[in-house]
Structure 1
């Protein structure tokens, strides 16, 4: 099949399938309709596996009628009079057969595969289906949606596979290319609403000549009418989104169809218990629900996503719309809605019951994972309920999302509920008023917030919880106005919360008061002591959010006071306390404080990458207050360093509106505080991010050049590192092992040696002890049993890996050295130039490369990557090493060619080339690890992130003993 259009994205899936086919005799690419299974299979078999020996055969089963035996039809398509004739032709010679669209003849296709594989020992089959075939030895490759851009930034939109596909297909259809930031943002949102499904994106792009992306978004409520082709192009079931889903729905039995229709009421992820409460029919027990979910997952109609010990399920947005439409047609929608609202009200009650005692990772996950369902359930209450009871119950836990970037949605939901039921004596009315008051503050609606809060406090029926939330709202409002009464409101709320045994709420308000009071002259030490007590109390109560909240506040005060050693220790402890669970506000503030601390310790230039990362975290969360605070703090630091131009650019990007946060501005900067709100220039934030990225790239290149320069004594880089740092100590330039984000032994050793509770306020002798040589290693050893231990050690050309009780050896590739650098610095970000050695000068690609020269270099890079793979496949380490050396030299030459003079544009190009090379090297290494040690492969696949900044951030602690280039020795305790 000759492809007419370019194949975009799917780099990882393409590489994985290309690796699986030579190693497995039957590989089935599985995914929902329109996800791109056929195109991927043909692309790999036709191009990536062009060198695979043997003949090629392709068979399209979509037109084959369902029956028990399809051998004759398959043989006919392949040009043979019978299946026996085809088998005679195959004999024992190698061959590759693609069986496309097996789902509607699944049993017959499975039987055919068994027969073919038994009769022809050198045959390999690639099948595509919406569910696995169930054949012994089958390797299943699930295919999901195309990756979406992490932000609406132009560079992200141009790079992400989903949005690239839309742009390419829209351009082919004659549409105007995107020009403004608003255009790129609309494309990103459109592809997000279409879940990154290639068929849906291509159908939308076909309309782009007459409709803008923003207009297409507005029509998505009628997506099945809009996303279709009128002309007879392609297969019938690919001419419309509805036809593609119809084909999958038609393969379900009646019970499965009914269950699927009911799931259309969910607006977000759901677990098996919620699915059982909403969708299970009469006589179906919980095991029956699990079986139905598994069958829909197998048929690619429901996605299953593990979250720790819990599996959550979800429907792609188009599948959800389809299921809801079918439920309405069947007259089932009203019943589905009623069961859904009941289930979400019960879930809200459970969240509140647990949250009254402590704010744990499980409580926060139960809230954040279901916010979309909570808001949808409230809207259903507004449509159907005569009383406010269920709406009030569902609204209450949404209070926990106000400071996690969701205040606007919570406030809007609260106002809709109060407008629908303005008066009454229902239970939880005071709580609804208090939640809406708190949510109104980030939007700057202070009078509304104060009015609602005072109504709560004036009501004799108000519960202690409602009063505490209202007092907090009054305190935040007073804080915004600069009134001393703010602290008094917080103190009063804390006292009432303690009296009512609402420990988490009490501790949160104590921290609010301590932060305000600690910013006053002479009050810092008392505030730090109070925060230490709050942290210890939260630890005792297993209140993880409260603990992080207190540690973040402590770090904030210490950074403001520029007590850097103590601040670094507090930050390291806050980062460790936040690991392993979702707490968006904590992540945003920690990222901002980390950047500020790096700037104070190492200077403005060294901190630019951390400011960019902090800005990305806040932007991804949509939290305007944190975006503003991050920009203002970075601008203040830039101005201190004399970089007035960057400071002005950052302040110009500060968004309009009210920016409330108890952990407010890190630096007192009158110019930043008086900065006008952002103008109508929507590109200001993009330009600010680009400026930080350019400065970070320049700093990283300089650092890489210093790292690559030989030391005066002629020793290697590793020898220099050992002599400068010693055992756990700082380098001669004052930086700590671990780079920009790494904690010195002062912080990390103190935490690891002492246990969590004592770490909340420990100082003095214990910190001094941690600074002695060997303290860091000893502290880590002291946690034996608290975390897993693993080893990665190189001896010559062989790496020895020990993980999860299993040891294996791997032949050296560059990507393993990259992984060693990341594993040695868990949680820290290393720039791709540091890993690629982009600062070294091993040749020159010339002052500039024209388009033709760049294309030739890129073609050679791709060829070298293929040579390395082939050399390893045939057991030729020497050939692989020679190709890797040439590849590294090319990357360095390209980096030099595009990084001359420190110009931002060229620095960015150098980083991009290093990013691509390092990402490829790490992916290749992960592929080899997964083959030799699948459990480690899965762990690293989840924990390693590549890009301009690379990091290893595992969900659970693993203590790695990394020894690159050293003999493997036993690790001392």
Structure 2
């Protein structure tokens, strides 16, 4: 990946990403936004503890699914899980190609930045997101040479791309004129350069001239840059052989990457061979119409969004779009059915991985069927297949898709309706609606529709819900019925899983040996049928059961199974093992061991975004902290656990090995509970635990943060520094005075009422004055830099940053004045920027203090100071001479 000719833009992006949380690269299609953003992210990744992640919004074709897709591509089970996860390490997130779902992306990014302190977002779009604090980097074409000159970034890119195509060229007047004619648009240059294998630059220039004249009427609409790019794409498309034209157009129905087999199934000649399609793809790659990506030993292809849009226009003009979309849905159904068929008798980790990889195509196919199909058969089949996804990810979105299908065809007697109901009921169970899940499943069982899977999957969700509700006897009966039905249908994997679950419930009722025999039988049956997932799951349950009879034997077995679960990437089994292993440590009163394993379970669940399983963490964290003497914290976590849904089969509701003791505990938001568990367990893992922290409180690090007239005295340690005062310094001072207390941003800015929007932020006169001042400040900075007058340059930069922020937040699409948001929204953005500016100022004199504040001060709608290590702060009052010493209370 590179961004030739974009050195200035790269430098600007690098600077913005260092001190801004939302940067948006805007520009027309084909201008190179994606390449620039991804290259910038690749280079900046080392500055973020968690590196960079990329979210491709071209994969989203449903406005309602934007937040869920954003969460899913970031590795979270749901949008709710994403917002509940308090990441404590900085990460850079590239949100690419936002324009077609701009409003929904803006809402999702706003929620993400408001709820999670650590992410920085780099977005690409044809228009800004128009969020508070957004910094916009506008991208134009590459610089072209003036008449008579040959040296320019556009020429450099053309020559490099021609060399990539195997043609060694030197800049000449024809190339320079070609770059001018194409307005320096990178994609247009690349398409033209790809043709240098068969045409000289002068010939390309003449052919392009003809193309533009022939297509003059539509080309005269829009900007010159749009016209030149469209001309280059049309010209490149017209040069393709007819079969390759049909292929690239048909590929436009893919939203994301695709394989050769998928391309052949969807866009290839139905009478031809897959090898013919592979050759066609190679030709399209050579023509720069298709991009090839190599990863994990496989090659995947994709169309740039601009080429995809052109192909979609061709499909619409020829009436072929529906044909190819139908082929894509058929191919998706074939793939999903094969995966599910393979998993029915011996569910493997590879089958599960492939099913999760196919999720985006499955969800898109469901939506297409709801919109286009007259009968429900295909939609019902797809929803039935999604049953294999819901325990791993996308629970909320799958539930919504299932409900849409059931409402679209409410009266159908199609057999697979029962399987769709099973998927919907399972989602309800996973989201905590136990009564709704049982009612839905039992109503469908009463109808008794014939189905390949539903008689077992419906009984399974009834068993799980009864288990979660504390009805152990009812759960035993329902799991037995599930296993018997699954075997009658040939669903061995489900049968062994149900037997293992029944064994766990039987153990809770005190029949440990009977339970162990049943779980061992499930293990052997899974082994005979080659189900490594089934074997690992049955062994995990055996370890959990052994806790009731032989804790040491349980711990030994669980340690072995944990390695097996990690080897096959089976996070559900790993979570069960860690929970049981932590309980073993609690029973043996090994507080550090329990803390270590509970913390590992928490981090593993957060890594896959599974906050829906947080009850399982709190059920172990609470007794661990109770054992450590952290009674009130333990009661808060216990009270919180009891209101969360039960989704773990080893959660022994009503028969707990270590019952929860909520007492007078407070019910906490999930996000706060996660933060507390992290803090408390990490301290327990220190050599001296909480006792040591309390003993060291008086000897802990000292910090100074106090006003002194117009200046502030600050420092972490024995040495202090003087820094000029700002409003952000006062905000930090307020937060340091109340460690772990959340303070609303309105309180920090002094507002009391959450007002509605107040109309345009800048009138035209003010806007012109701001823009003129920006130009003056830029000139001041250049002159100060030339004279090495660092103080003058810094003053000008600070004022320039403030003015640019104000202009960015006040101007909307096309430079129009934008209405202000609510006072709460403005306060959140204002306080965040004030604190960040203050920390940057502090960093110049005390980098250690700046690092501490970045790690410990959380901003957003609510702000909070939460240090991992206690600090005794010496603080003076702004209006009086008294000092206060604040130590974070353990």
Q: TM-score range by the shorter chain?
A: 0.5 to 0.7
Structure 2 equivalent of residue 647 of structure 1? 634
Between the aligned partners of 2:305 and 2:325, the Cα distance in structure 1 is: 17
What's the offset of the Cα at 1:424? 2.6
SS of the counterpart of 1:402?
coil
CA contact (8 A) 1:627 1:655 kept: no
**Of 603, 615, 620, the match for 1:616:** 603
Deviation at 1:257, TM superposition (A): 6.6
Determine the structure 1 residue equivalent to 2:844: none
Aligned to 2:734: none
Query: How far does residue 8 in structure 1 lie from its aligned partner after superposition?
Result: 6.7
Deviation per residue, 1:310-360 (Å, 9 max, x gap): 655567899878876775577543222211111112222212321222112
Show the counterpart of 2:92: 161
Match status 1:391 vs 2:398? no
CA distance in 2, matches of 1:624, 1:43: 31
Helix, strand or coil at the partner of 1:634:
helix
Deviation at 1:637, TM superposition (A): 1.3
Contact 2:459 2:479 in 1 (8 A): yes
Provide the rounded CA distance (Å) in 1 between the counterparts of 2:15 and 2:593.
36
Give the aligned partner of residue 368 of structure 2.
Answer: 380
SS of equivalent residue, structure 2 residue 391: helix
| Kept after mapping to 1: 8 A contact 2:342/2:351 | yes
One of 498, 513, 519 as aligned partner of 1:509: 498
Contact 1:303–1:314 (CA under 8 A) maintained in structure 2: yes
**1:81 paired residue number:** none
Change (3 A) 1:355 1:244: farther
Asked if 1:438 is matched to 2:445, the reply is: no
Q: Indicate the residue corresponding to 2:447 in structure 1.
A: 459
CA apart distance, 1:672: 5.4
* Mapped contact 1:626–1:659 kept (Cα < 8 A): yes
Question: Normalising by structure 2, what TM-score?
Answer: 0.54
* Cα-to-partner distance string for 1:887-937 (whole Å, 9 max, x where unaligned): xxxxxx999x999xxx9946599xxxxxxxxxxxxxxxxxxxxxxxxxxxx
Distance 2:668 2:716 in 1: 42
1:499 and 2:488 are equivalent in the alignment: yes
Q: Secondary structure at the match of 1:627?
A: helix
Instruction: Indicate whether 1:371 and 2:359 are aligned.
Output: yes
Q: Describe the shift of the 1:640–1:238 C-alpha distance in structure 2 as closer, same or farther (beyond 3 A).
A: farther
Q: Which residue of 2 aligns with 1:478?
A: 466
**Contact 1:392 1:432 survives alignment (8 Å):** yes
Q: Does the alignment pair 1:405 with 2:329?
A: no
- Give the equivalent residue in structure 1 for 2:523: 535
State the alpha-carbon separation in 2 of the partners of residues 453 and 350 from structure 1. Answer: 26
With over 3 angstroms needed to count, the CA separation of the structure-2 counterparts of 1:538 and 1:306, relative to structure 1, is: farther
Once residues 257 and 592 of structure 1 are traced to their aligned partners in structure 2, the CA distance between those partners, rounded to angstroms, is 56
Deviation at 1:536? 1.4
Q: Is the 8 A contact 1:535 1:547 kept in 2?
A: yes
Distance 1:407 1:514 in 2: 26
Question: What is the distance in 1 between the residues matched to 2:11 and 2:414?
Answer: 64
Q: CA deviation at 1:435?
A: 2.9
Matches within 5 A, 1:563-962: 563-580=551-568, 582-597=569-584, 603-644=590-631, 646-648=633-635, 650-651=637-638, 657-664=644-651, 668-671=657-660, 679=668, 683-693=672-682, 696=685, 847=717, 905=867
Paired residues of 1:657 and 1:677 also in contact (CA < 8 A)? no
Equivalents in 2 of 1:619, 1:338: separation in Å?
A: 37
Equivalent-residue separation in structure 2 for 1:243 and 1:694 (angstroms): 62
Going from structure 1 to structure 2, the CA distance change for 1:148 and 1:260 (only over 3 Å counts) comes to farther
Contact residue 297 and residue 304 of structure 1 kept, 8 A: no
Distance apart, 1:515 and its partner CA: 0.7
- Report the alpha carbon displacement of residue 277 of structure 1 after superposing the two structures with TM: 1.0
Shift of 1:451: 3.3
Deviations 1:376-430 (A, max 9, x none): 1111100000001111221222212222233323322222111111123323223
Q: Quick one: structure 1 residues 669 and 279, their matched pair in 2 at CA, closer, same or farther if it must change by over 3 Å?
A: same
Classify 1:149/1:455 alpha carbon distance in 2 versus 1 (closer, same or farther; 3 Å): closer
2:509 counterpart residue number: 520
What secondary structure does 2:530 align onto? coil
Paired residue secondary structure (1:200): strand
Q: 2:648 is paired with a residue of what secondary structure?
A: coil
**Structure 1 residue 161, shift from structure 2 partner:** 3.1
Give yes or no for contact 2:639–2:662 (8 Å, CA) kept in 1.
no
| Partner SS, residue 447 of structure 2 | coil
| 2: CA distance, partners of 1:301 / 1:678 | 53
Q: How many residues align?
A: 570
C-alpha contact (below 8 Å) 2:591/2:684 kept by paired residues: no
Who is 2:336 aligned against?
348
- Which one scores higher on RCO, CA 8 angstroms, separation ≥ 6? 2
C-alpha contact 2:683 2:690 (8 A) present in aligned 1: no
| Structure 2 residue 413 is matched with structure 1 residue 489 | no
In the other structure, the counterpart of 1:35 is 35
Q: Pick closer, same or farther for the CA change 1:332–1:629 going to 2, 3 Å.
A: same
Q: 1:520 to 1:157 in 2, by over 3 A?
A: closer
Q: How far off its partner does 1:160 sit?
A: 1.7
Could you tell me how far apart the structure 1 residues matched to 2:282 and 2:95 are?
Answer: 33
1:434-493 Cα distance to aligned partner (Å, 9 max, x none): 332233222233344333323333335423632111211221232233221211111122
Work out which of the residue numbers 124, 132, 135 in structure 2 matches 1:200: 124
Unaligned stretches of 5+ residues in structure 2: 1-6, 19-30, 45-72, 77-81, 98-105, 144-182, 188-222, 693-714, 724-846, 854-864, 872-890
* Local SS of the residue matching 1:663: coil
Alignment of 1:5 onto 2:18: no
Paired with 1:266 and 1:550, the residues of 2 have a C-alpha distance of: 40
Tell me, yes or no, if the aligned pair for 1:154 and 1:181 is still in contact at 8 Å: no
Partner Cα separation in structure 1 for residue 618 and residue 379 of structure 2? 38
Aligned residues of 2:561 and 2:577 also touching (Cα < 8 A): no
State the distance in 2 between where 1:465 and 1:431 align: 6
Is the partner of 2:12 in helix, strand or coil? coil
Deviation, 1:290, is 3.1
CA shift at 1:572, angstroms?
1.4
Q: Distance between the aligned counterparts of 1:230 and 1:689, measured in 2?
A: 42
Residue matched to 1:211: 131
| 8 Å CA contact 2:266, 2:328 repeated in 1 | yes
Shift of 1:5: 2.6
Q: Secondary structure at the match of 1:34?
A: helix
Q: CA RMSD in A?
A: 5.3
Deviation at 1:38, TM superposition (A): 11
Instruction: Say if 1:907 and 1:232 are closer, same or farther in 2 by CA, change over 3 A.
Output: same
Q: Tell me the distance in 2 between the aligned counterparts of 1:32 and 1:313.
A: 19
Alignment deviations for residues 104-131 of structure 1 (CA, whole Å, 9 cap, x no partner): xxxxxxxxxxxxxxxxxxxxxxxxxxxx
Distance in structure 1 (CA, Å) of the matches to 2:341 and 2:185: 49
Counterpart CA distance in 1 for 2:38 and 2:352 is 40
C-alpha distance in structure 2 between counterparts of 1:481 and 1:39, whole Å = 51
For the residues of structure 1 that align with 2:571 and 2:583, how far apart are their CA atoms? 19
Partner of 2:198: none
Following the alignment from structure 1 to structure 2, what is the Cα–Cα distance between the partners of residues 492 and 286?
46
Contact preservation (8 Å) 1:490, 1:510: yes
CA separation in 2, counterparts of 1:473 and 1:499? 18
Question: Given the alignment of the two structures, is residue 272 of structure 1 paired with residue 192 of structure 2, yes or no?
Answer: no
Mean CA deviation greater in 400-409 or 694-703:
694-703
Distance 1:431 1:269 in 2: 29
Q: Deviations over 1:860-903 (max 9, x none)?
A: xxxxxxxxxxxxxxxxxxxxxxxxxxxxxxxxx999x999xxx9
